[in-house]
Amino acid sequence: MKKIVINGNRKLSGCISISGAKNSVVALIPAAILTDGVVEILNTPELTDTENLRKIITLLGGDIEFGKGFMKINGKNVVSNPIPSELSDKLRASYYFMGALLGRFHHVVINFPGGCKIGKRPIDLHLTAFRKMGATIVREGDKYTLDAEHLHGANILFDFPSVGATINVLMAAVLADGVTVIENAAKEPEIINIVSLLNNMGAKIVGGGTNTIRIEGVEKLNSAVIEVIPDRIEAGTYMMIGALIGENLKITNVIPKHVEILLSKMRDMGVEFKVEDDSVTFLNHDALTAVDIKTLVYPGFPTDLGQPMAVMLTQAKGESHFEETIYESRGGHYPELVKMGADIEFTPSSATIEGPSKLVGTEVAASDLRAGAALIIAGLIAAGTTKISNIEHILRGYEDLVYKLSSVGAEIAIVEE
Ligand code: UD1
């Protein structure tokens, strides 16, 4: 079994460059098959999620050329083959092929998506919207068959501004007959990235990044180029490391606006940092004070940074309260942090954290991707050696993690045990 081993308590200096956003690229790749032309995606991160999406594109008959930081997808020979559970299980974003294949072929057979086990994660909002657009859906166990004789525009009002449902409806609506309006749409930066690609391909979308998106269906989409935005969650994770053990640690290729809420919380905690156009530098680490955090949709505090943030709170003086409002059970990191010496009382969706605590390295397991990120941070600040298992979760979302951290002075390695 592969494990990440960290010898902690070392100061980090130098520069870490942030990769393209996982949650953008996993939607940009499926969007590429909406055309029979060629879509070139730049600044692509190399992650197990992108590798699995490439496998799905290949299964559908698409041609992919890829290298460091780019991917070229030729959708000419794509057909709507069924996507088996062995592939759809690997990641949440496999469900973007629902919208993309429905949009182009009006037919799709796919299994329920995989992804981190952090709550129920139903897809009812996606399915209700597809039905409104003319699709019939047959479910047999975890297998969904969607058909639309006449895929048409519709007015869709989401109960909740779901990122996935917003993107899936965009995919289906760009080639549908007529106008689709999404109300209470998600406003995350990743939505704007997808809208930019679709518009570059010839779609007619306005309002991306606001809570009302209007899509006028077009006959055909064409070849296009897009650049993946920087990963704000990866950036936030390294920024927390900077705040805790950085000594002139610069995080580059960041859009500071996308991490504004984290910077604001860091200021409240007493962290000192310098923000420039596309970087944030942590000069020194000072004593931190406790703050309260409640996760919310963008521009609120991102749920994906909630778990890493819990580690920062263990180092802040006083009692911090943490509340997770997006998922029901995103607390797999708490027992592991307690094993390392943190003082945390928790339920699956909330925690009271008393700090500062001296963390000590031990054997811990990553229950999901961002719980794994939390354990990486904990290992870096802990005394002694931390061994993290279940690292496949972490490698789904952090490109070149070991290289990036080693290059700024961390003692970290992947070992086979
Ligand atoms: C995306 C991100 C994930 C992030 C999340 C919230 C990707 C691949 N993943 O996930 O990292 O944590 O946004 O920022 O981009 N919901 C329903 N019914 C639905 C859809 C969602 O009830 O049909 C609920 C979910 O269970 C959850 C909430 O809505 O409680 C948010 O989900 P959503 O925004 O859809 O998250 P994802 O797109 O799955």
**pLDDT tens for residues 137-178?**
999 988 999 999 999 999 999 999 999 999 999 999 999 999
Same domain, 214 and 262: no
Same domain, 260 and 123: no
Query: What tens digit of pLDDT does each residue of 294-332 get?
Result: 999 999 999 999 999 999 999 999 999 999 999 988 999
Same domain, 283 and 220: no
Q: Which residues line ligand 1 (CB under 6 A)?
A: 23, 26, 92-93, 119-126, 160, 162-165, 186, 303-304, 326-327
Range name among 14-18, 48-52, 195-199 with the lowest pLDDT average = 48-52
Q: Show which of 227, 244, 262 is a domain's final residue.
A: 227
Q: At 92, is the pLDDT very low, low, confident or very high (cuts 50, 70, 90)?
A: confident
From 326, 349, 396, 398, mutation site for ligand 1 pocket: most ligand atoms within 8 A of C-beta: 326
pLDDT of residue 80: 95
Cα 122 to averaged position of ligand 1 atoms, centre (Å):
9
Active-site annotation holder among 28, 53, 116, 271: 116
Q: Show which of 173, 200, 227 is a domain's final residue.
A: 227
Catalytic residue list contains 15: no
Instruction: For residue 30, give its domain range.
Output: 22-227
Whose C-alpha lies nearest to ligand 1, atom 9? 23
pLDDT of residue 133: 98
Query: What tens digit of pLDDT does each residue of 177-228 get?
Result: 999 999 999 999 999 999 999 999 999 999 999 999 999 999 999 999 999 9
Same domain, 250 and 195: no
Same domain, 113 and 79: yes
Same domain, 118 and 97: yes
Same domain, 27 and 15: no
Amino acid letter, 3: K
Q: At 290, is the pLDDT very low, low, confident or very high (cuts 50, 70, 90)?
A: very high
Closest-lying ligand 1 atom to the alpha carbon of residue 297: 14
- What's the mean pLDDT in 354-362? 97
Same domain, 222 and 315: no
Same domain, 92 and 162: yes
Whose C-alpha lies nearest to ligand 1, atom 29? 162
Predicted TM-score (pTM) of this structure: 0.97
pLDDT of residue 417: 87
Same domain, 167 and 261: no
Query: What tens digit of pLDDT does each residue of 232-267 get?
Result: 999 999 999 999 999 999 999 999 999 999 999 999
pLDDT of residue 116: 74
pLDDT of residue 140: 92
CATH of residue 99? 3.65.10.10
Same domain, 195 and 266: no
Same domain, 66 and 8: no
pLDDT of residue 112: 82
From 139, 156, 163, 297, mutation site for ligand 1 pocket: most ligand atoms within 8 A of C-beta: 163
Cα 35 to averaged position of ligand 1 atoms, centre (Å):
26
Q: Show which of 227, 261, 287 is a domain's final residue.
A: 227
Closest-lying ligand 1 atom to the alpha carbon of residue 298: 14
How many domains is the chain partitioned into structurally? 2
Cα 412 to averaged position of ligand 1 atoms, centre (Å):
32
